[in-house]
């Protein structure tokens, strides 16, 4: 069995100004996935802070898929129903579970 070691990831400071802009964009009718993936969206913002994910072979595209899959919780944070640390730690857990790769028995 082989387990990939995890990079050290932290919960960055809450992007409150950006979050306000993201919420406004969604409230104005822009799709949440489009807002998350935009050049100034949450996906590139987090990716720039968690570059250590590259060291375990995760691409930005794979990371984006994980974030998009977590969009309900992100929406709840943007809407004020979750605090940043809850949202971000949950996302970190999801990312960490995707990183750990266990080889099949006999490999």
Helices (H), 5-105: 16-27, 32-37, 42-49, 60-69, 71-78, 84-99
Q: Is residue 4 part of a domain?
A: no
Q: How confident is the model at residue 103 (pLDDT cuts 50, 70, 90)?
A: very low
Q: Is residue 62 part of a domain?
A: yes
Q: Is 105 a residue whose pLDDT tops 80?
A: no
Domains: count for the chain: 1
Q: What is the residue range of 66's domain?
A: 16-99
The model's pTM is 0.86
Q: Is 1 a residue whose pLDDT tops 70?
A: no
CA atoms of 59 and 1, how far apart (whole Å)? 23
Token digits of residue 20: 């306000």
Q: Is residue 3 part of a domain?
A: no
- Model pLDDT for residues 23-72, shown as the tens digit of each residue: 999 999 999 999 999 999 999 999 999 999 999 889 999 999 999 999 99
Q: Is residue 10 part of a domain?
A: no
């Amino acid at each position: 069995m082989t387990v990939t070691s995890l990079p050290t990831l932290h919960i960055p400071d809450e992007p409150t100004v950006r979050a306000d802009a993201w919420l406004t964009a969604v409230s104005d009718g822009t799709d949440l996935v489009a807002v998350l993936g935009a050049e100034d969206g949450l996906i590139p913002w987090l990716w720039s802070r968690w570059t250590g994910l590259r060291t375990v072979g995760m691409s930005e595209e794979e990371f984006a898929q994980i974030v998009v899959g977590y969009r309900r919780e992100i929406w709840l944070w943007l809407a004020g129903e979750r605090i940043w640390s809850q949202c971000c730690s949950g996302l970190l857990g999801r990312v960490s579970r995707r990183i750990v790769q266990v080889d099949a028995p006999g490999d």
